[in-house]
Amino acid sequence: MIGYILKRLLLVVLGLFAFSVLLVLLFRWVPPPTSAFMLEADIRPVHQEWVSWSHIAPPARLAVVASEDQKFPDHHGFDFDAIDKALEHNEKHRRLRGASTISQQTAKNLFLWSGRSYFRKGMEAYFTVLLEALWPKRRILEVYLNLAQFGPDVYGVEEAAQRYFGKPAARLDAHEAAVLAAVLPNPEKMHAGRPSAYVQERADDIEGQMRLLGSDYLADLR
């Protein structure tokens, strides 16, 4: 009886593993119709419009990398130096600092739920490994930009560009891109259309980081 139960559990685990791999492979080529975070949003309507890599202005790509994960082109899903620094910071301060890479955030936004638990972090790590193994870096950044939340009901860089600047994502300039990246840590409270002094300061800092990285920083991203 125990052997039968174990065999059935093993089949379930293998089935879930195969399904997750197939799902990740599918979204390598097919735009995800929604994300776990959009489905988890309040009853309010969610606004999002998918755009391909070629329809996202280079400054918009660079701004989120400069702001969120400057080692994105080179790491394999995890920035262990940032993790060590975050752990050290969190031991000394009440305000916690995260260390999630763009790959981890993409995995979380697309497949998982909000909240903090060891199980969710484990699932995030699992899907991050799958994304890094099965998707090129360009696809990870493309999906991230299309799923990221830029306002209470605004998801994706195209919707954000249209909503806040009245233009498509393909025409965003460096400052506009930096403003959008500046609200990513807390898009429910920080506003890209009416940026506070704090958001403006963050945007200026991000623009400075963009200049340091250089406009061709992501040119070789594949």
Q: Which 3-state string (H, E, C) describes 128-186?
A: HHHHHHHCCHHHHHHHHHHHCEEECCEECHHHHHHHHHCCCHHHCCHHHHHHHHHCCCC
Q: Is residue 40 part of a domain?
A: no
CATH number at residue 134: 1.10.3810.10
Bridge partners of residue 48, in order along the sequence? 155
Is residue 65 within 8 Å of 213, Cβ to Cβ? Answer: yes
On whether the pTM is more than 0.85, the answer is yes
Residue 205 domain-assigned?
yes
With respect to residue 194, please indicate whether it lies within any of the assigned structural domains: yes
Q: Encode pLDDT of 15-60 as tens digits.
A: 888 999 999 999 999 999 888 888 877 656 777 889 999 999 999 9
Which residue has 């329809």 as its token pair? 55
Domain count, the chain: 1
Q: Is 165 within a domain?
A: yes
Q: 152: domain range? A: 2-27+48-213
What pLDDT score was predicted for residue 10?
A: 78
- C-beta separation of 59 from 210 below 8 A: yes
What is the predicted pLDDT for the residue at 116? Answer: 79
Phi/psi of residue 119, nearest 5 degrees: -65, -45
pLDDT tens for 127-148 read 999 999 999 999 999 999 999 9
Does any domain span residue 33?
Answer: no
Structure tokens at 32: 């995800």
